[in-house]
Amino acid sequence: MLMRIDPLRELDRMAQQLMAPGTWSKPSVMPMDAYREGDEYVVAFDIPGVAEDALDIDVERNMLTVKAERRPAAKADDVKMELSERPLGVLSRQIVLADTLDTEHIQADYDAGVLTLRIPIAERAKPRKISIGVGSDRNEISG
């Protein structure tokens, strides 16, 4: 049996799946950057058009979950939408954090559509010097 595949149709189908609005059961992925800056990790999420009260950030054990909902703008009854290309719906991202990060002291800032999380490196993970005892002295760890 011969099957004809239209590659453009397949690309269109995949684009529709990726661009479909996210739901709570199947959220869309939000783009992010992650980098180390001094003694902390910084994670920045692009979520333009999301109100601050539509953000939800959770940490359970070492799993960081960020959810956001881009809601439609409130419109008067006499407004007729001519074109709507900005995606709406739920966005989500989950990140597994290393044990070396201090999840108790995460700081979150939201400015100009960018959510920035700063996660400090735990004290126990920072380099430290170990002193060597002489004779009967025990080895000590100095912090």
pTM of the predicted model over 0.75: no
Determine how β-strand 130-131 pairs with β-strand 140-141.
Answer: antiparallel
How many other β-carbons are positioned within 10 Å of the β-carbon of residue 118?
A: 15
- The pLDDT-based confidence of 2 (bands split at 50, 70, 90) is very low
Q: Calculate the alpha carbon distances from 118 to 33, 80, 107 in Å.
A: 12, 42, 5
| Longest CA pairwise span in the chain (Å) | 89
* Residue range 126-139, pLDDT digits in tens: 677 888 888 765 55
